[in-house]
Amino acid sequence: MKATVQYVPGKSAFHRLDPRSKIVFMLLVTFAILIVQNLWVAVAVLLTLVLFWGLARLPFSVVADLGKAMLGIVVFLFVVQALLYPGKTALIQPVIPRFVPFIGGRGQVTLEGVLFALLLSLRLLAMVVVLPLVSMTTPVHILTLGLVRLGLPYRLAYTVTTALNLIPILQIEAGVIRDAQRLRAFQVFEKGGFLDKLKAYPPLVTPLIIGAMRRAQLMAIAMDSRAFGASGNRTYIQDIRMRAGDWLFIGFSILYAGAIVAMRFLVR
Amino acid sequence: MRQHKGQQEPYIVFDDVSYRYPGSGHAVKKHPYVLKHVSLTIHRGEFVAVLGENGAGKSTFCQALNGVVPHSRGGRMRGRVIVGGQDTQQATVAEMAQQVGIVLEDPEAQLFTTSVLSEVAFGPENLGVDPGEILRRARWALEVVRLTGYEDHPPTALSGGQKQRLAIAAALTMHPQVLVLDEATSQLDPLGTLEVFSVVRELNEQYKMTIVMATNKGEEVAEFCDRVLVLHKGELIAQGTPREVFADTELLQRVTIRAPQVSQLALYLAEREVPADKKRPADEKHPLAAGCSLSAGCSLSALPITLDEARRGIVQLMRGAD
């Protein structure tokens, strides 16, 4: 997975918004997406989020990379829902050929199952796209401050935002491990079959996790040594302030999320 | 020769300190303690090196100075570590952080923000220091480590030496009296190492900061340090000036530490080339030592050899001649 959701410096209107207004937007839209039941509403929501992405002047290649990263989950969703969803319009029946002993002649893929899987995939993609709209337009320390000003304890806010920082670090570490493997003629990821690649993940994931745990331990020592969490009245050299534009954006977010929820009941 | 500093009360006291990590009692039955009965004192303003092979206990020693051992690492500590009158086991790590700043080996693991300024401000922000005061401290710290002008740079864009200097600045904004460097130059190239050491020397000489540095770089120890502590399997087996420690070849072999190359050369020549009756008087400085920054820890200055003799000795040493 190449997608990174780290901050991308910029001067768009989205970048200039207070982090609180962006966080509220993200929460409202995520909640609204979760209850979308209509395929066309899901398509419309995804398209508007991509429009926001353009307004924020973020690279669309990240959207494509996020989509590729979700591909495995989407395929899994399709397989499960297409086979198990209780639909009426059979597209493929039976799934298992009749000549197969004992279980032959069973299973069906229904149109309703395929459409439901598509709906779930679009909802998932929309949720995955809305988070980077916030994280890629807001520096981490400002995002942390936004969460604190919204009432989250500093330690928890910092944990959430630090997790975002760790994704690209883990990607780089994984790249280093794979390079080291290639140097010892281990080329399964490039030339191996599906099962071979599956078996190749433990030798990649194990050192990655051990390295991540070691790094986390060192980070904890460094943070403790700088009095992390010592004071209940932590200060900040940079502060944030809600402006008129932020309140307008929150108002828009409420209307936007409200419209998505309303579609749930108006459009069948 | 660097003079031993500080005749005041000791600022750091290790009083019969032994420590073992959690769970090590079962894992390593014979030697569960990584520090064993360590007792020593360090005076304010001293520049002390801690030498030892891998696993000797250097990092544990460093982390005991600011209370990370045992508060954050757990485990069991016996004895006391007193820094500036504070017992590290009674004070919290946050309280000790205002006395002792620490710089770790891995630059990447100790920089967690997106700009140089926010990195150096992180510590004082945690303490609730006034933002105006934080900015004043940040400007001073960045000036000391020569990173003024880099305030908006992301730490990831800095070189290794710059990252470690930034880590030093991040510690300095806490206004510590002691700076601990836990193998802070082990991952740096020679230029980066020199950058870090020059900053640390300035902190020691100009700001009278006490420096405790875990390292295995003999040349830097000989040039910068007042005193050397040698750890071996958790025990303090020797301490003294760099000259005293590096002249003890048996000790160095036992703990597999390499003396500065010039000391190795001097000892080699002393054993093979120069008769004892030709030794220069102790108070007469050898012309080769004049202007040499390593002369403080060097036995060469005691030898009456010429430059040609030194060249022949170097060639023989490099060829491994007996």
Three-class HEC string of A63-102: HHHHHHHCHHHHHHHHHHHHHHCCCCCEEECCCCCCCCCC
Inter-chain touch A215–B109, beta carbons under 8 Å: yes
Query: Considering just the CA atoms, what is the radius of gyration of chain A in Å?
Result: 23
Q: What is d(CA B209, CA B201) in angstroms, rounded to the nearest whole number?
A: 9
Going by C-alpha positions, the residue among B202, B195, B119 that lies closest to residue B162 is B195
Higher pLDDT, B114 or A195: B114
Closest-CA residue of A relative to B156 is: A169
- Checking if the pLDDT of A78 tops 70, the result is yes
Q: Could you read off the pLDDT of A123-160 as tens digits, one per residue?
A: 888 888 898 889 899 988 899 999 999 999 999 999 88
pLDDT band at residue B7 under the 50/70/90 scheme: low
Q: Is B289 part of a structural domain of the chain?
A: yes
Inter-chain touch A226–B108, beta carbons under 8 Å: no
> How far off is chain B from A92, nearest CA to CA, in Å?
53
- Spans of all domains in chain A: 13-266
Q: Could you read off the pLDDT of B209-251 as tens digits, one per residue?
A: 999 999 888 888 888 899 999 999 999 999 999 888 888 877 8
The residues on B that touch A, with CB distances below 8 Å, are: 63, 66, 68, 71-73, 92-94, 97-98, 100-102, 104, 106, 108-110, 112-115, 117-118, 121-131, 134-135, 138, 167, 170-171, 174
Give whichever of A98-112, A127-141, A157-171, A192-206 has the largest mean pLDDT: A127-141
Average pLDDT, chain A: 85
Higher pLDDT, B32 or B302: B32
Mean pLDDT of A226-239: 88
Higher pLDDT, B278 or B82: B82
Q: Could you read off the pLDDT of B14-51 as tens digits, one per residue?
A: 999 999 998 755 555 555 899 999 999 999 999 999 99
pLDDT at residue B283, rounded to an integer: 52
Q: What is d(CA B178, CA B67) in angstroms, rounded to the nearest whole number?
A: 13
pLDDT band at residue A254 under the 50/70/90 scheme: very high
Chain A residues touching residue B66 (CB < 8 angstroms)? 225
Average pLDDT, chain B: 83
pLDDT band at residue B322 under the 50/70/90 scheme: very low
Ranking B34-38, B192-196, B313-317, B318-322 by mean pLDDT, the lowest is B318-322
Write the residue in A139, A218, A234 that is nearest to B106 by C-beta: A218
Q: Is B270 part of a structural domain of the chain?
A: yes
Q: Could you read off the pLDDT of B66-80 as tens digits, one per residue?
A: 999 999 888 899 999
Going by C-alpha positions, the residue among B306, B269, B304, B308 that lies closest to residue B284 is B304
The three-state secondary structure class of B212 is: strand
pLDDT at residue B316, rounded to an integer: 66
Instruction: Please name the residue that has the structure tokens 């799934």.
Output: A95
B239 forms bridges with which residues in the sheet? B229
> How far off is chain A from B185, nearest CA to CA, in Å?
16
pLDDT band at residue B1 under the 50/70/90 scheme: very low
Write the CA distances from B23 to A209, A217, B69, B80, B147, integer angstroms: 21, 16, 15, 21, 42
Q: Could you read off the pLDDT of B139-193 as tens digits, one per residue?
A: 999 999 999 999 999 898 899 899 999 999 999 999 999 999 999 988 888 888 8
Q: What is d(CA B114, CA B154) in angstroms, rounded to the nearest whole number?
A: 5
pLDDT band at residue B286 under the 50/70/90 scheme: low
Mean pLDDT of A233-252: 93
Inter-chain touch B171–A226, beta carbons under 8 Å: yes
| Those residues with Cβ within 8 angstroms of residue A22's Cβ, 6 or more apart along the chain or in another chain | A14, A133, A134, A137, A138, A146, A249
pLDDT at residue B247, rounded to an integer: 82
Q: What is d(CA A7, CA B156) in angstroms, rounded to the nearest whole number?
A: 13
ipTM: 0.76
Higher pLDDT, B8 or B130: B130
- Checking if the pLDDT of B271 tops 90, the result is no
Q: Is B146 part of a structural domain of the chain?
A: no
- DSSP string covering B42-67, please? EETT-EEEEE--TTSSHHHHHHHHTT
pLDDT at residue B26, rounded to an integer: 53
Mean pLDDT of B91-95: 91
Q: Is B314 part of a structural domain of the chain?
A: yes
pLDDT at residue A148, rounded to an integer: 94
Higher pLDDT, A5 or B57: B57
Structure tokens at B268: 């080699």
Going by C-alpha positions, the residue among A85, A77, A70, A101 that lies closest to residue A2 is A70
Domain count, chain B: 1
Higher pLDDT, A96 or B64: B64
**Residue B5 · residue B46 · CB < 8 Å:** yes
Structure tokens at A64: 């494509």
Residue A47, CB half-sphere, CA atoms under 13 Å: how many?
6
pLDDT at residue B3, rounded to an integer: 41
- Checking if the pLDDT of B289 tops 60, the result is no
Residue range(s) defining the domain that contains residue B303: 261-319
**Residue A33 · residue A45 · CB < 8 Å:** yes
> What type of residue sits at position A171?
Q
Closest-CA residue of A relative to B130 is: A235
0.80 exceeded by pTM: no
pLDDT at residue B176, rounded to an integer: 94
> How far off is chain A from B317, nearest CA to CA, in Å?
36
Q: Is B75 part of a structural domain of the chain?
A: no
Count chain A–chain B contacts defined by CB atoms under 8 A: 100
Inter-chain touch A141–B113, beta carbons under 8 Å: yes
Write the residue in A218, A230, A234 that is nearest to B110 by C-beta: A218
Higher pLDDT, A76 or B302: A76
Chain A residues touching residue B126 (CB < 8 angstroms)? 226-231, 234
